[in-house]
Structure 1
Amino acid sequence: MEEDISEKISKKLAKDIYRYERDQRYKIHDKDEKETIEEVFDKHTLLTLYKIINRGIIDQLYGVIDAGKESRVYLGIKGDQKLAVKIFLVSTAEFKKRLQYILGDPRFKSIKKGMRNLVNIWARKEYVNLKTAYEHNVPVPKPIYHKDNILIMEFIGNDNRAPTLNECIDITNEHYEQVINAIRLLYKAGLVHADLSEFNIFMHNDKIILFDFGSAVELAHPNSEYFLIRDINNINRFFSKHGINVYSTDDILKRVKSI
């Protein structure tokens, strides 16, 4: 029965993704497309997605809107609302490098063996971090739902996803202040992003929005201070490169911690 369901969903996904990317005028190569679909939509992921659709969390799934070593982000539709459906890859070894962000986090003390378990914990960790950040008014995508290796959240953008800071040309001091304030709000919420850079900050309607929260740790994590300083240095490096007069790391630390 499960194989029948998986096969039906796989065929439908392949058809929907192909149609979406064709309409977007992407170049499609059947062999590459098939390999990508098989990598992302293994049997367990297909069944998880089937349950999510059955619960009415999303109505349809379309093509890739972003891709990385650890995950693919697809466009999901619920009614007339766009959603970002992030599917973490269970076939990648990248997550083994991420153990430093899980070990030492008091929220995730028990880690079962196996890559799938590690990936599922990572997806849950990102959802929990996003939820905490969102509830404390940090500018982040609104988390919608999570199950196993699938995370669903607010889509940031209009027709296409919003650009990230590294894709923007007009960088201002106001944007810098927004990022520093976001770091402060996140710290106030008890979290450090731990992987913050121009590559995981959206610019939408002239406002910055932080994303990719899988690495984020609580302040109780033994390396939280190191991660915080690294985040600040990454941000200062980017903005100073764009001609913005940045604060010293120590000054930002004082500002962030003055809660």
Structure 2
Amino acid sequence: MMELRDVDVRYAKPPVHAVRRLSMTINSGEIVAILGKSGCGKSSLLRAIAGLEPATGQILLNGRDISALPTHRRKVGMLFQDGQLFPHRNVERNISYGLEMIDMSAAERRERVAQMLEMVGMAGYGKRAISTLSGGQAQRVALARTLAVRPDIILLDEPLSALDRLLRLRLGEEIHHIVQKSGMTALYVTHDREEAIAVADQIAVMDGGELIGMGTYQEMRERTSVPIIRDLLS
């Protein structure tokens, strides 16, 4: 479970109050999509959770306060828009990258990589060069690499936005299945309503750095009195 308590993110140059005392709880095994227009603070919130941006407030992960910890000690996995795969490594060596940083034998790494390839539907692709993969395949490999090290939570920052709409929706449903199968807790940023519906158990709407509302898609659709929720989900 992750708890955010009054998380606040400010930038000095130019002066921007990106996230405004935001509080939220994400239950273990749950996928929450953060939906909002560009510039609403979605990505800044994810970067603060990962330790990539300075923030005030508290970030608790499974009861552990990680607010002051450096990124590498937070047990947070992050998947970016472009996946950031290493072009000089093949598929299996990309997935094993994080495993090489921890105390794991070569045999254990091979077994874990094979498990991840199976989970993301890419068994048999281990020796393939990254340059031979489609955009959807590359994002599956990036997801496998993120999940391989067993983080406590995975943060996905518009991971499908570079793909065409039909592929985004299909892969969004696959990511939902993969993340649920792994038992992972996930926070998924998007500006696309249909993608949020396909991926998430709950949807959190942000506007102007603030959390406007959070609930299931059906619960949020009923909040027609809130203009930004109506605009994003109707």
Q: TM-score range with shorter-chain normalisation?
A: under 0.3
Larger Rg: 1
- Higher fraction of helix: 1
Length-normalised TM-score, structure 1: 0.25
Bigger proportion of residues as strand: 2
- Higher relative contact order at CA 8 Å, sep ≥6: structure 1 or structure 2? 2
